[in-house]
Amino acid sequence: MVIFVLIASLAQLLAPSLVSMMVDGVSGNEEGLIIMLAVAMIVLSVVGLIFSVAFSGQIAVVLAVAIPILVIAVTGILFGASRYSVKLRSKTDAINRLFLEALEGVRVIRAFNKQEHEIDRFEDTNEEAAEISRKSIVTSGLMTPVVNTLFGLTSVGAMMAGAANIGHGGMEVGSLVAATQYINIILIAIMLLASVVSMFPDAYACMKRIGEVLETEVTIRDSEKDKPEPSYRGTVEFRNVTFAYTGADAPVLKGINFVSKSGETTAIIGRTGCGKSSIVKLIPRLYDTLFGDVLVDGVNVKDYKLDDLRERIGYVPQKNVLFTGDIAENLNF
């Protein structure tokens, strides 16, 4: 009994923080608090259940019916909400991407008079996000009314069962009062637990997005062969190289052959988008060829350790990136 009262007061203590977390979002060490609350609620409902069965036999039957219904309803709502949450995350991504593109490409957009088009695109994506957000809120909003209704019905059921029992002398009024108190405590615990769990869909959606990035497999790996590295000569050779980006309909490079010897300057000329930068990216093995070989100092780039290969190459990308620091540091980088 003492443990029960302790847990109940702990729950009362924690409930306001939970509400504030739901309003302001979770931050810092509040995760600990949420887990604590969730554990407390589980213990509270289990202990409550045991007590109500022990002290008020038949009334516990009402709980045996009510709790599974409550759990199914809550799970269903959470399941629906989490589907919208996942969709909403990817829409938020799209909004961020469009915003970034518009910001970075503002001059291009102006030069081609595409402001209206960009604004429409941004608006459409926002509309879609708002629509999903609306559905998500409606779904999660079902939680409180559904739980409250079930709560009310359970109390009524307990009262009716109790009253019938008291009527034919099988139970005392005091036991009924105690039983309804237990039921209240159990249901409050389940409701609080539901509000803790209702934070899961968002967390799940975020976890999934982060997981997608972390679980992306590295396709370009170090060579297994333990060959001595060739001496530095500074030659690059392409042998019948064909290359396509993943998911592209057609290869950007087809049957490319050339040799760039040490001391020579090789220039590659072509219209925009014809694959000049793609050729250069194959040399430090930022991508692997589809067919054919790229050789640096006479050795296939796939036979190098990546560090050794890239050590041999100075690469100035078309789109420059400046890291924080001074010019010297950037050049050294």
Interface residue list for Mg ion (CB under 5 A) = 276-277, 318
Counting contacts by CB under 6 A, is residue 108 touching ligand ATP? Answer: no
Token pair belonging to 274 = 């014809």
Q: Which is nearer to ligand ATP, 278 or 289 (CB)?
A: 278
Tokens of 298: 């006479």
With CB under 6 A, what is the number of residues at the site for ligand ATP? Answer: 12
Q: Which of 23, 90, 71 is nearest to 197 (CA)?
A: 71
Q: Is 284 in the site for ligand ATP (CB under 6 A)?
A: no
Nearest CA-CA partner of 125 in 93, 148, 86, 169: 93
Residue span binding ligand ATP (CB under 6 A) among the ranges 37-45, 127-135, 191-199, 271-279: 271-279
Is residue 277 close enough to count as binding ligand ATP by CB under 6 A? Answer: yes
**What is the rounded distance in angstroms from the CA atom of residue 226 to the CA atom of residue 303?**
9
Which of ligand ATP, Mg ion, none does residue 275 bind to, with CB < 5 to 8 Å depending on kind? ligand ATP
Phi, psi for residue 3 in degrees, rounded to 5? -60, -40
Closest CA to 22 of 186, 184, 137, 152: 137
Q: Are the CB atoms for 158 and 142 separated by under 8 Å?
A: no
258 binds ligand ATP (CB under 6 A): no
In terms of CB distance, is 44 or 279 closer to Mg ion? 279
Q: Give me the numbers of helices (H) and strands (E) for the chain, helices first please.
A: 11, 4
Give yes or no for residue 219 binding ligand ATP (CB under 6 A). Answer: no
Q: Which of 1, 214, 218, 248 binds ligand ATP (CB under 6 A)?
A: 248
For residue 241, the SS3 value is strand
- CB nearer to ligand ATP: give 248 or 327: 248
Residue 278 engages ligand ATP in binding (rule: CB under 6 A):
yes
Which of 15-23, 160-168, 187-195, 275-283 is the region at the interface with ligand ATP (rule: CB under 6 A)?
Answer: 275-283
In the list Mg ion, ligand ATP, none, the entry touching 274 (Cβ below 5 to 8 angstroms by class) is ligand ATP
- Judged by CB under 6 A, the stretch of 10-18, 101-109, 186-194, 276-284 that binds ligand ATP is 276-284
Is 83 or 281 the residue whose CB approaches ligand ATP more closely?
A: 281
Report the greatest alpha carbon distance in the chain.
Answer: 107
Site string for ligand ATP, 299-318 (x = CB under 6 A): -------------------x
Q: Which of 24, 273, 307, 316 binds ligand ATP (CB under 6 A)?
A: 273
From Mg ion, ligand ATP, none, interface partner of 278 (C-beta below 5 to 8 A by class):
ligand ATP
* C-alpha–C-alpha distance, residues 90 and 129, integer Å: 9
In the complex with ligand ATP, the residue whose CB is nearer, 178 or 252, is 252
CB of 277 to Mg ion, least distance (A): 3
- Which DSSP letter does residue 258 get? E
In sequence order, the 6+-apart residues with CB closer than 8 A to the CB of 263 are: 234
- Rounded CA-CA distance 268/282 in Å is 14
Report which DSSP code applies to 253. E
Distances (CA, A) of 184 to 18, 156, 180, 192: 19, 11, 6, 12
* Tally of CB atoms within 10 A around 292: 17
11, 40, 39, 17: which is closest to 29 by C-alpha?
17
Supply the minimum distance, in Å, between the C-beta of residue 244 and ligand ATP.
9
Q: Which is nearer to ligand ATP, 2 or 321 (CB)?
A: 321
Residue 269 interacts with ligand ATP (CB under 6 A): yes or no? no
Q: How far apart are CA 293 and CA 208, in angstroms?
A: 37
Nearer to ligand ATP, 27 or 318 (CB): 318
Return residues touching ligand ATP (CB under 6 A): 245, 248, 252, 270, 272-278, 318
